[in-house]
A and B are shown apart, each in its own frame.
Chain A
Amino acid sequence: SQQGEEDPQALSIQEGENATMNCSYKTSINNLQWYRQNSGRGLVHLILIRSNEREKHSGRLRVTLDTSKKSSSLLITASRAADTASYFCATAPDNNDMRFGAGTRLTVKP
């Protein structure tokens, strides 16, 4: 079963705006990962944040992790049309098996 749950399920914004996606999970984790999937292609790993980290940056991406609330957020700043994709979070519970959410479909309008 899938553990991570992203919200919103779909998000539509204008180019240049920021996009925020959230992920909630149920059990304790070792790390949480965010992935992007462009239509018709496999997943691309974006960023991994460990359970003892609170925030991580990579380019225009910012990920936060709140283990007390069992939630994470992915912020994409200054979005571009090329950011249009589905975004998934995946969690690695203590037993190291990964669990994926259903994803957020982001549309960035030029």
Chain B
Amino acid sequence: NAGVMQNPRHLVRRRGQEARLRCSPMKGHSHVYWYRQLPEEGLKFMVYLQKENIIDESGMPKERFSAEFPKEGPSILRIQQVVRGDSAAYFCASSPDRDREFFGPGTRLTVL
């Protein structure tokens, strides 16, 4: 059973462009969490999704950020009109039952 996969691992964008981060959960996992990590800081929760539903988006910035987890395919974290402050590592985790999370390797976003 392959682990949680994220791609791309590294993403470079210029200010104003869009960034799309993908997360493929482990087989059989229907819960996905997204986190952001700034340098030398801990993870900050962003959003929790189940298939086709957003359960908790209390950690998502109100503007420019959106997330989805469609019935088929990976979960997508989308950042529109990126700014330098969006540069961070973005981690997703998946879970079969809301109790245990399994983390992906992360996507490092750099905004020039």
Contacts and interface: CB of A to CB of B under 8 A. Distances in A.
Contact of B45 (A39, A40, A43, A99): A43
B45 A42 contact: yes
Contacts of B112: none
A39 B91 contact: no
Contacts, number: 68
Contacts of A39: 98-99
Interface of B: 3, 33, 35, 37, 39-46, 48, 56, 59, 89, 91, 93, 98-103, 105-106, 108
A13 B25 CA distance: 32
In this complex, the member of A99, A100, A102 whose beta carbon has the largest number of chain B beta carbons within 10 angstroms is A100
A30 B44 CA distance: 19
Given A43-B35, A97-B108, A2 B43 contact: no
Contact of B39 (A44, A90, A96, A105): A96
Contacts of B40: 30-31
20 contacts: A1-B3, A30-B40, A35-B42, A37-B101, A39-B98, A40-B98, A41-B56, A42-B33, A42-B46, A43-B35, A45-B43, A45-B44, A48-B41, A96-B89, A97-B89, A97-B105, A98-B103, A99-B103, A102-B100, A105-B100
Contact of B101 (A1, A43, A48): A43
A100 B103 contact: yes
A86 interface: yes
Contact of B56 (A30, A42, A103): A42
SS class of chain B's interface: helix, strand, loop or mixed?
strand
A103 to B, nearest CB: 6
Contacts of B102: 2, 100, 102
Contact of B43 (A40, A43, A105): A43
Contacts of A45: 42-44
B35 A42 contact: yes
A79 interface: no
A98 B106 contact: yes
